[in-house]
């Protein structure tokens, strides 16, 4: 296969899957990982994709939110494992807030039926938790975003301002160790920032492809996070930087 043909197929794959790893591309095209990294570097310079730690992410969706169905299947195995790990930090009687991420939805699916108060702006999270009798669910209300099936806007922000929770469980589109957490949608970013402000502790749930990337709207500095749960593909450099910032890191397989 010619180099130009391989690089075109790489862009197609990244846009189709939204994110993909170097190791996977290496196997697909039967070339070394170093060759793939050179391809990604060239393609990033041409603004055809964006490199992340361990892979690449699509730039096609940068101007808006990815649909819930697409997010549901992107890195699904990692998100499920991260959600299960996050649940281990919840105790009966806790008051928590869950954002509208697919990882939060996986949490809602896996949460045992126990005394708990959950505040959320996600319709899918609320529906999932409605099946569990002991869990009290509070929805923020607000302006509906059909892509993410979530509420945002002034009403949602005012609702959050009325509460205080033990723990906030959030995800985001980009985790840059210097520039902070970010999201594609400004309304979601504002809401996630407020979720952090009403919580004693913030747990960030992100797969390793999110590290080193930046989205449109800033949420908060990385230092505002108490704990990050991610998958085992996170690289050593990122792990060391998080350790220097004294941020607890939990890695799932």
Q: Looking at the predicted structure, is the pLDDT value of residue 34 above 80?
A: yes
Angle at 72 between CA 71 and CA 74, to 5 degrees: 60
Q: Looking at the predicted structure, is the pLDDT value of residue 231 above 60?
A: yes
What's the whole-number mean pLDDT along residues 86-91? Answer: 97
Q: Looking at the predicted structure, is the pLDDT value of residue 81 above 50?
A: yes
Summarised one tens digit per residue, pLDDT across range 120-134 is: 999 999 999 999 999
CB-CB neighbours of 68 under 10 Å:
20
% the chain with pLDDT above 90? 65
What's the whole-number mean pLDDT along residues 129-141? Answer: 97
**Which of 14, 86, 62 is closest to 182 using CA atoms?**
62
What architecture does CATH give domain 3-57? Orthogonal Bundle (1.10)
The per-residue pLDDT for 62 is: 44
Beta strands at 55-57 and 95-98: parallel, antiparallel or unpaired: unpaired
59-68, 155-164, 214-223, 225-234 — which is least confidently predicted?
Answer: 59-68
The per-residue pLDDT for 63 is: 44
Q: Looking at the predicted structure, is the pLDDT value of residue 69 above 60?
A: no
- Give residues with Cβ within 8 angstroms of 205, minimum separation 6: 79, 82, 83, 86, 101, 103, 104, 107, 169, 170, 171, 228, 229, 230
Q: Looking at the predicted structure, is the pLDDT value of residue 119 above 90?
A: yes
The per-residue pLDDT for 46 is: 87
The per-residue pLDDT for 15 is: 81
CATH number of 68-252: 3.40.50.1360
Beta strands at 174-176 and 180-183: parallel, antiparallel or unpaired: antiparallel
Summarised one tens digit per residue, pLDDT across range 156-170 is: 999 999 999 999 999
What's the whole-number mean pLDDT along residues 209-214? Answer: 86
Which pairs with CB-CB distance under 8 Å and at least 24 residues apart come from 125-133?
125/98, 125/100
List b or e across 185-210, with b for residues whose CB sees 16 or more CB atoms inside 10 angstroms.
bebbbbbbbbbbebbebbbbbbbbbb
Which of residues 253 and 74 earns the better pLDDT score?
253
pTM, 2 dp: 0.72
| C-beta separation of 49 from 8 below 8 A | no
Taking the C-alpha atoms of residue 246 and residue 252, their distance in angstroms, rounded to an integer, is 19
CB-CB neighbours of 13 under 10 Å:
17
What's the whole-number mean pLDDT along residues 239-247? Answer: 91
- Give residues with Cβ within 8 angstroms of 170, minimum separation 6: 99, 101, 104, 192, 195, 196, 202, 203, 204, 205
- Domains of the chain, residue spans: 3-57, 68-252
Q: Looking at the predicted structure, is the pLDDT value of residue 73 above 50?
A: no
Q: Looking at the predicted structure, is the pLDDT value of residue 76 above 90?
A: no
Instruction: Output DSSP code: residue 18.
Output: S
Q: Looking at the predicted structure, is the pLDDT value of residue 146 above 50?
A: yes
Q: Looking at the predicted structure, is the pLDDT value of residue 75 above 70?
A: no
What radius of gyration, in Å, describes the C-alpha atoms of the chain? 18
pLDDT bucket at 74, cuts 50 / 70 / 90: low
Helical ranges in the chain per DSSP H:
3-17, 22-29, 33-45, 68-73, 76-87, 102-110, 123-129, 154-161, 186-197, 236-244
Structure token pair of residue 78: 């990692």
Angle at 237 between CA 235 and CA 242, to 5 degrees: 100
What's the whole-number mean pLDDT along residues 98-108? Answer: 95
The per-residue pLDDT for 182 is: 92
| C-beta separation of 149 from 127 below 8 A | no
- Tally of CA atoms within 13 A in the half-sphere of 147 that contains its CB: 13
pLDDT bucket at 53, cuts 50 / 70 / 90: low
What's the whole-number mean pLDDT along residues 203-223? Answer: 90
């Amino acid at each position: 296969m010619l180099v130009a043909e391989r690089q075109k197929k790489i862009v197609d794959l990244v846009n189709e899957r939204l994110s993909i790893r170097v190791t996977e591309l290496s196997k697909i095209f039967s070339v070394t990982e170093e060759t793939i990294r050179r391809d990604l570097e060239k393609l990033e310079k041409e603004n055809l994709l964006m490199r992340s730690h361990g892979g690449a992410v699509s730039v096609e969706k940068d101007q808006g939110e990815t649909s819930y169905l697409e997010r549901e299947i992107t890195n699904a195995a990692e998100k499920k494992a991260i959600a299960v790990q996050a649940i281990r930090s919840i105790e009966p009687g806790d008051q928590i807030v869950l954002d509208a991420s697919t990882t939060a939805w996986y949490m809602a699916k896996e949460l045992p039926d126990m005394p708990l108060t959950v505040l959320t702006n996600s319709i899918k999270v609320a529906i999932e938790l409605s099946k569990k009798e002991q869990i009290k669910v509070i929805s923020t209300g607000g302006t509906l975003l059909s892509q993410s099936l979530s509420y945002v806007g002034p009403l949602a922000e005012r609702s959050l301002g009325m509460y205080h929770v033990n723990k906030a469980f959030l995800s985001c589109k980009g985790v840059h160790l210097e520039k902070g957490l970010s999201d594609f949608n400004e309304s979601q970013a504002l809401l996630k920032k407020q979720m952090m402000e009403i919580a004693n502790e913030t747990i960030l749930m992100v797969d390793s492809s999110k590290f080193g990337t930046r989205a449109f709207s800033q949420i908060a500095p990385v230092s505002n996070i108490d704990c990050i749960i991610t998958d085992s593909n996170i690289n050593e450099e990122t792990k060391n930087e998080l350790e220097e910032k004294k941020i607890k890191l939990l890695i799932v397989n």
